[in-house]
Amino acid sequence: MTCQHSSEQKLTPPPPPQLCAEVAVFAPLLQPLSYVVPTHMEEILHPGMRVRVPLGRRSAIGVVVRLRPSGDEQWQLKPVSACLDEEVAALDGASVAFLQRVSAYYSYPPGLTIKTALPAGLTRQKAPAAIQQVHYRSTGKEAMLRGATQQALYTFIASGQDVAMEEIRANVPHPHAALKRLEALGLVTRTERVSSRDPFVGLDIGSDIPPVLAPEQKQAVAAICPDSKQPPVFAPFLLHGVTGSGKTEVYLHVIAHVVQTQRRQALVLVPEIALTPQLVKRFRARFEHQGVRIGILHSGMSVAERHDIWREINHNRIEIVIGARSAVFAPLQNLGMVVVDEEHDESYKQGEGLRYNARDLALLRGQMLQIPVVLGSATPALTSFERARAGHMTLLSLTRRALSRPMPAVEIVDLSGIKEPCVLGEQMLSALKQTLEAGEQAVLLLNRRGFSPYLLCRDCGAAFRCPNCDITLTWYKSKARLKCNYCDYTQAPEEICPGCGGATIEPQGVGTEQLEHTLRQYFPTAAIARMDRDSTRTKGSQQRLVDQMEKREVDILVGTQMVAKGHDFAAVTLVGVVDADAALNFPDFRAAERCFSLLAQVAGRAGRGSVPGRVLVQTRTPENPVLECALNHDYHAFCAQELPMRELLGYPPYGYLLNMICSGLNRVEVEQGAEKLSRLLQPHAQVEVLGPAPCPLFRLRNRYRVQILLKAATRLPLHQVLTRLPEFNAALPARVSLMVDVDPLDMM
């Protein structure tokens, strides 16, 4: 767009119109900023590219959202300092438009919205280099080795071909000094090579042949597959199918259509990719041998790994992206379908910063691109179900399990008559015994980590609490530490109660660590494994557990809700829910929904193979109607019970929520700020203002927190409230920050 005027009127040369870039700068600014595009960049700069720009006295990074001819303001504008994308823009045009809508919907600064969407490697000035992976191999030379570490290390490396550093670290603690020594002695050699960043590489993937679909599956596939003769339209579907009914098989079929017939790309969102190695495996087995490339994106990957996959997507070298929450932003330029598996899962909601819900954004993206979006679940979120019932989504149902496998029998085990604390009742123990004797596997769910949720003083009843948060510290016996599961604060337990000087300090309540320990006592010869956030911290550990389950090297798998999600273990015939009441008694209007979904999902792990499954649910409130619905695998009965209550109270799906949270280090300031804010908010004809009230977790990471919950029958008035954010921020004391959560899920 260069314009060169041969200015003949010498006295008043007209200013050459210049190109101006609107840049969403990675800073908390409400609007993009304008910069002049220097002439040498005019040819190369495109929307979606990353640039460096001056911002006050420093420089900042941002993404060009629009290019336009500049008006008179060009003389005041500073120039773009540098373009950071060389050939291909970090984001395509449609993604830029999508992210601007996201920014508006969540009232979150456009630059920070884009920053959230980009992989960390692209939000810095210097992109990470391709990853070098370090490997060691033995040279076959012999030498006398001193020290156990050197010895162990050498044996370990010699036992493999080319041993990756990661493996070494996982097997030999603190190997660095010894490795150096072995290298100096000429016993091992070190090689570096660009890794194939795929976390699932090395998995044995056969190829598979698609099964013949059951009639309901066929109907679903036919409904979803876009008809190429028709103009493209946004088509949202809710695929409601009981666990094991073949939803994944439906995804595989419709995606085959999109990728192979339409030659377009597909995006598959899963709650947490680490939990679904089996799904990834099935996609790879189905597609890779046909030359379809699959890219995996998830939070467990390193910055460089994510960056690499992103680059592959940018260069159009990937047809299917499978990823967790943030993959909804993957800049696929020819996207033809989005699938959201386990759409009810709350991990689709980001809990901080840009508090987006990837399921909702998948629908928005599908709407903007005019493509089908498939939400699948055995227990759809009530909001999704209601949306389908109201005709905004097409409901597709799979009512029976594949291969006519029966749903597992659910039995309620009433513990209400037992006075003392009871972790594993007699029924549970005998069922476990039978399962082990039959050579089958069991899964036990207990949604609490650690050994005990509290360590209590016998004398005064005080529990150890986190100094930063309003919560008791969890007791980890194996590490002999008390730990806060919110802020990661840890401390050694004290022998004397700091409050009363009492000397009897005892653990209270049972967590997964203790359950594992107890099971070992009852079943000393059984192989018992635990799956929770603590046991799966290291990379690949989650997957190792899944592999061990598949290979039947584990007899009993104990864990938190992680065990409930999506796994398909054919030999699991018993599922035990140790404490159903914990989930039911949660102080939140969604407690019943969460509990029903958790029970249905975990029950769905039983009886997926040829032997029928059995589910035991321990409770002290056996008459609870939620349990009754779970007992009968009756999602519709649960909806019929729960929806009228929501309607009565105007809660979602019959109303919209906006949570405003004031927080700060000074309690009085926070409380006064919240009061002031609530006065600014009311009275309001269309918005109900609840609070201010202290958050259930009043103090978190040292900050006091007070919330005001806004409820309205439609979204519009809540959006109008959001436009007043600058006013609210100005009214609050400087040290109190205001955070807004649109469509909140977790209101702790």
Binding site for ligand ADP (CB under 6 A): 211-214, 217, 241, 243-249, 402-403, 568
Contacted entry of Zn ion, ligand ADP, none for residue 249, CB cut-off 5 to 8 Å set by kind: ligand ADP
Minimum CB–partner distance for residue 243 and ligand ADP (Å): 5
Contacted entry of Zn ion, ligand ADP, none for residue 244, CB cut-off 5 to 8 Å set by kind: ligand ADP
Minimum CB–partner distance for residue 553 and ligand ADP (Å): 20
Return the SS3 of 613.
coil
Minimum CB–partner distance for residue 463 and ligand ADP (Å): 40
For ligand ADP, the closer CB: 211 or 467: 211
Cα–Cα distance, 698 to 448 (Å, whole number): 21
For Zn ion, the closer CB: 118 or 469: 469
Rg (CA), the chain: 29
For ligand ADP, the closer CB: 244 or 744: 244
Token representation of residue 589: 């209007």
* 575 DSSP β-pair partners: 443, 615
Contacted entry of Zn ion, ligand ADP, none for residue 489, CB cut-off 5 to 8 Å set by kind: Zn ion
Cα–Cα distance, 451 to 129 (Å, whole number): 42
For ligand ADP, the closer CB: 100 or 347: 347
Tell me the torsion sign for CA atoms 706, 689, 589, 390.
Answer: negative
Minimum CB–partner distance for residue 216 and ligand ADP (Å): 9
Q: Is cis: bond before 683, omega within 30 of 0?
A: yes
Minimum CB–partner distance for residue 270 and Zn ion (Å): 30
For ligand ADP, the closer CB: 397 or 641: 397
Other C-beta atoms lying within 10 Å of the C-beta of residue 454:
19
Give contact residues for Zn ion (rule: CB under 5 A): 466, 468-469, 484, 486-487, 489
Triad 709, 715, 718: Cα angle to 5°: 45
Contacted entry of Zn ion, ligand ADP, none for residue 591, CB cut-off 5 to 8 Å set by kind: none
Contacted entry of ligand ADP, Zn ion, none for residue 320, CB cut-off 5 to 8 Å set by kind: none
Beta strands in 416-544 (DSSP E): 441-445, 454-457, 474-476, 481-483, 490-491, 505-508, 528-531
Helices 93-106/110-117 angle, 10° precision: 120
Contacted entry of ligand ADP, Zn ion, none for residue 468, CB cut-off 5 to 8 Å set by kind: Zn ion
For ligand ADP, the closer CB: 372 or 507: 372
Minimum CB–partner distance for residue 665 and Zn ion (Å): 15
Minimum CB–partner distance for residue 352 and Zn ion (Å): 15
Minimum CB–partner distance for residue 747 and Zn ion (Å): 18
Minimum CB–partner distance for residue 242 and ligand ADP (Å): 7
Minimum CB–partner distance for residue 464 and Zn ion (Å): 11
The 33-36 sheet, strands edge to edge:
33-36, 19-25, 58-69, 50-55, 82-83
Element (H, E) at 93: helix 93-106
Phi, psi torsion values for 292, nearest 5 degrees: -85, 130
Contacted entry of Zn ion, ligand ADP, none for residue 402, CB cut-off 5 to 8 Å set by kind: ligand ADP
Cα–Cα distance, 161 to 136 (Å, whole number): 8
Minimum CB–partner distance for residue 560 and ligand ADP (Å): 20
Contacted entry of ligand ADP, Zn ion, none for residue 403, CB cut-off 5 to 8 Å set by kind: ligand ADP
- Residue with structure tokens 């090689």? 191
Distances 645 to 630, 639, 651, 709, 742 between C-alpha atoms, Å = 18, 10, 8, 18, 22
Contacted entry of ligand ADP, Zn ion, none for residue 484, CB cut-off 5 to 8 Å set by kind: Zn ion
Element (H, E) at 235: strand 235-241
Beta strands in 584-673 (DSSP E): 614-619, 656-664
Contacted entry of ligand ADP, Zn ion, none for residue 487, CB cut-off 5 to 8 Å set by kind: Zn ion
Contacted entry of ligand ADP, Zn ion, none for residue 529, CB cut-off 5 to 8 Å set by kind: none
- Residue with structure tokens 């004809």? 685
Distances 131 to 123, 197, 200, 723 between C-alpha atoms, Å = 18, 8, 16, 44
Minimum CB–partner distance for residue 29 and Zn ion (Å): 32
Contact indicator for 63, 103 with CB cutoff of 8 Å: no
Token representation of residue 490: 């840890």
Contacted entry of ligand ADP, Zn ion, none for residue 492, CB cut-off 5 to 8 Å set by kind: none
The b-or-e profile of 548-577 (16+ CB within 10 A means b, else e) is ebbeeebbbbbbbbbbbbbbbbebbbbbbb
Contacted entry of ligand ADP, Zn ion, none for residue 441, CB cut-off 5 to 8 Å set by kind: none
Cα–Cα distance, 669 to 401 (Å, whole number): 56
Triad 387, 388, 390: Cα angle to 5°: 65
Minimum CB–partner distance for residue 408 and ligand ADP (Å): 13
For ligand ADP, the closer CB: 187 or 563: 563
Contacted entry of ligand ADP, Zn ion, none for residue 469, CB cut-off 5 to 8 Å set by kind: Zn ion
For ligand ADP, the closer CB: 276 or 560: 276
Contacted entry of ligand ADP, Zn ion, none for residue 353, CB cut-off 5 to 8 Å set by kind: none
For ligand ADP, the closer CB: 214 or 721: 214
Q: State the chain's maximal CA–CA distance in angstroms.
A: 101
Contact indicator for 497, 457 with CB cutoff of 8 Å: yes
Cα–Cα distance, 300 to 537 (Å, whole number): 10
For Zn ion, the closer CB: 486 or 586: 486
For ligand ADP, the closer CB: 248 or 659: 248
Contacted entry of Zn ion, ligand ADP, none for residue 248, CB cut-off 5 to 8 Å set by kind: ligand ADP
Cα–Cα distance, 613 to 602 (Å, whole number): 12
Q: How many residues does the chain have?
A: 748
Question: In terms of Cα–Cα distance, which of 131, 173, 185 is closest to 148?
Answer: 173
Beta strands in 477-623 (DSSP E): 481-483, 490-491, 505-508, 528-531, 556-559, 572-577, 614-619
Distances 622 to 209, 300, 692 between C-alpha atoms, Å = 45, 39, 36
Minimum CB–partner distance for residue 481 and ligand ADP (Å): 38
Which DSSP letter does residue 535 get? T
Minimum CB–partner distance for residue 240 and ligand ADP (Å): 10
Minimum CB–partner distance for residue 398 and ligand ADP (Å): 7
